[in-house]
Amino acid sequence: MAQPVRIVVADRGDAGRRLDLVLRRHLTDVVGATRTRVQAWIEGGQVTVNGRPVRRVAARSALGDRIAVALPTGRPRQAMAPENLPLDILHEDENLLALDKRAGVVVHPAYRNATGTLMNALLWRAREWPPGTRPSIVGRLDKHTTGVVLVAKTAAMHAALQRALAAPGAAKDYLALVYGRVSVARGRIDFRLFKDRRDRRTVASRDLGRPSVTRFERLARASAPRAGLALLRCSLATGRAHQIRAHLLARGWPLVGDPIYGEPRWRRVSDPDVAAALRAFPRQALHAWRLAFVHPVTEQRIAIEAPVPTDLDELLQVSGLKSQVSSLM
């Protein structure tokens, strides 16, 4: 059963504003009324304007509009439980820590992964931290993406790290193994991204999406005439969900092993050993390799690197790419 909330647009400050912004302004006391959820309510048909469902987030309000939203009651969220799980610590000080996330590990508890997450493990580690501290993850990686995850120990440090990572000179570098003939040494991908209406878990590139920028550098390429195979270093200028995966697909270079944005181009690889290794790779070949920023407290530049995971390292070895980038391994 849903709880209805009704709003009348009587404020000229609301007139002409986007529907999602109006709702967020008036639902500040509603727990869980985040931007993402408000937009999902609109697109899911839970919001009506003057009695008619409106599914466009960018729809504009007018004076006198009567807006109704059916808020799902749902079940109260259970508190996250500390769990004694292994963590690979790359760096730690009084203010933050950085982890090396393994493939298959979920960062934060969700409906299908309520336990066994990185956050559950962090809560266990934080049991003896000083009063007023609590782990909060700065940015997230997909379940099967490996590499550096940054964790703040206080809310103030979380905000400071977000600013530090957005500052000029900060770096968020990924290693990506892709199919395709990458003929340019470096470049920029700036396709706009938006959530695919056919599957809200994915994004697609369109002219009307959110501005998104990925810079890339070709580190190595293998001889795979019919399919193409290359190792790229990708740097994020923006941090949209699935950005690298969707951008590389849009450019014609899908990630090896990507179950959502990938393609089975291993079938075109003539070398049977390489083809078999590509086919067997169980996840998207994406690794959050390096994070560099100015520490908000010490004001010293810090660079944190996560070693290339064993499964990706072995694939690079079989494909002949590892010898070209041995300095990274």
Rounded CA separation 87/274 (Å) = 32
Query: Treating both helix axes as pointing N-terminal to C-terminal, what angle do 310-319 and 272-280 enclose, rounded to 10 degrees?
Result: 160
Nearest to 176 by CA among 130, 212, 229, 104: 229
If residue 195 lies in a helix (H) or strand (E), which one and from where to where?
A: strand 193-195
Tokens of 87: 């963590």
Count CA within 13 A, CB hemisphere, residue 121: 18
Side-chain-side CA neighbours of 162 within 13 Å: the count stands at: 12
How do beta strands 136-138 and 146-152 pair? Answer: antiparallel
Please indicate whether residue 142 is annotated as part of the active site: yes
**Catalytic position from the list 14, 65, 100, 142:** 142
Which residues are designated catalytic?
A: 142
